Amino acid sequence: MATTLFTNVRVLDASGAPPFNGEVLVCGERIAAVWPASADAVHRPPEAQGAGVVDGRGATLMPGLVEPHAHLSFLDLPRSIELGEIPPEEHTLATAANARRLLRAGFTSCLSAAAAKPRLDVAVRDAIEAGNLPGPRLLAAGPELTVTGGLGDVRLEHLYRENFAVVLDGASDLRRYTRQLCREGVDILKINISGDAGTPAAPSDKTVMTEAEVAAVCDVALAHGRRVAAHARNGAAVRLALRHGVEIIYHANLCDEAACDELEAQRERIFVAPTLGHTWTTLHEASAWGITTAMGQARGLDRELADGIRNMRELQRRGVRVLPGGDYGFAWNRNGTNARDIEHFVRLLGFSPMEAIVAATRLGGEIMGRPGDIGQIRAGFLADLLLVDGDPLADPGLLHQPRTPHRVFKAGVLQAL
């Protein structure tokens, strides 16, 4: 079994405790021991004898990042209907390239919030697990399940068009397609319960999926042991999701008091990821693609962002797990820049840098369903590690704009990216 000894590193273990100068021993794919540095090497465990040494030269060693809202098959295009024009073969290769990009950016685990075609995530996940592709550990999703007129329905009456969603109406059609996705091996079912800004027939404050439709997807997911994630912006949509056991709530920015109460009541079971990145960049950085700040404001995005900031602060205060993940994969919010969300959490939500990093690592391990395995530097955990030059607590921006590329270790192995 290969052993690696990290010396001269500042260990940011993501327990929430302050970092310390220390050493970390990795045996095989797992962390074997972590200890504070001292002047002598007497206290090193015997397994450290003969280990390959990585001298961090004072760099920060932290757990690999987790992306809880990944869209590896979204190809940074300005218009989502362009996703529907890419054949599956080319689309698979491009999804694989994004998997490598996210790993290079420090993400060793990703939970998918939808793929643009049914088997893109599944095929890439399996190739990564087989060791045939570099990429993060991936929980695969299928396309977003939406209803006629809902987010992702881009059809026109006289034209066939598709993007990242499959349009289904009624419990029976949703049940059948959910079973099909389970058969094809997805881990995550994504349902668009509420509308969204920019979807004329279904704005963010509308709840367009019915109780019976949500129940149908959740029943099938439960039967197959899969998990459900919901696009739910307003309070009614959040409450509908929670009534049927949805575990991952995306956005929740227009939550009302009753929805906040219910999220708090279920906080041991559920996760919230507001996806600040996409809203922020659509408002402030999309003018090159024809979306000015004034246009974003006309869509109500400034109000949605302000409400979201207020609600996320409130949910964090109530002990709800609020995670980054900013809907990266669009022209102005590109895959590979995902760690910007950590900075958004600090700057917009008022999280401390430590709280934001813990949300992106330790809570990330929890949303991956592997709380004892992923997201901390502790004996027994997988050695998914990031060696960052500098101090991300002093400057969280280092995580997405490193002075030198991060060194990324997955299962104890330095990734050549």
Residue 277 Cβ, how far from Zn ion at the closest point, in Å? 10
SS3 127: helix
Dist CA 10 CA 244 (whole Å): 44
Residue 304 Cβ, how far from Zn ion at the closest point, in Å? 15
Nearer Cβ to Zn ion (22/143)? 143
Residue 352 Cβ, how far from Zn ion at the closest point, in Å? 26
Nearer Cβ to Zn ion (316/335)? 335
Nearer Cβ to Zn ion (367/388)? 367
Dist CA 104 CA 416 (whole Å): 9
Nearer Cβ to Zn ion (113/127)? 113
The H or E element spanning position 311 is: helix 301-317
Residue 194 Cβ, how far from Zn ion at the closest point, in Å? 13
Closest by CA position to 247, among listed 267, 233, 265, 275 = 267
Residue 250 Cβ, how far from Zn ion at the closest point, in Å? 7
Cα-Cα-Cα-Cα torsion 304, 76, 67, 180, nearest 10 degrees, comes to: 100
Nearer Cβ to Zn ion (285/373)? 285
Residue 327 Cβ, how far from Zn ion at the closest point, in Å? 4
Nearer Cβ to Zn ion (113/139)? 113
Nearer Cβ to Zn ion (70/388)? 70
Q: β-pairing, 144-146 with 165-167?
A: parallel
Residue 275 Cβ, how far from Zn ion at the closest point, in Å? 6
Contacts of 64 (CB under 8 A, 6+ apart): 106, 107, 108, 109, 136, 361, 384, 385, 386, 408, 409, 410
Tokens of 283: 């408002």
Angle at 258 between CA 253 and CA 262, to 5 degrees: 85
The rounded Cα 332 to chain-centroid distance in angstroms is: 18
Binding region for Zn ion (CB under 5 A): 113, 327
DSSP string, 17-84: SPPEEEEEEEETTEEEEEEE--SSSTTS-GGGTT-EEEE-TTPEEEEPEEEEEE-TT--SBSSGGGGG
Residue 322 Cβ, how far from Zn ion at the closest point, in Å? 16
Nearer Cβ to Zn ion (27/113)? 113
Residue 24 Cβ, how far from Zn ion at the closest point, in Å? 34
Dist CA 393 CA 389 (whole Å): 12
Nearer Cβ to Zn ion (23/162)? 162
Residue 121 Cβ, how far from Zn ion at the closest point, in Å? 13
Closest by CA position to 164, among listed 121, 197, 133 = 121
Dist CA 121 CA 116 (whole Å): 9
Query: Across the strands, what pairs with 10?
Result: 21, 60
Nearer Cβ to Zn ion (163/311)? 163
By the 8 A CB rule, do 137 and 179 touch? no
Residue closest to Zn ion when measured from CB atoms: 327
Which own/partner pairs from 349-354 qualify as long-range (CB within 8 Å, at least 24 positions apart)?
Answer: 349/276, 349/309, 349/312, 349/313, 349/316, 349/322, 350/313, 351/316, 353/392, 353/393, 353/394, 353/396, 354/16, 354/393
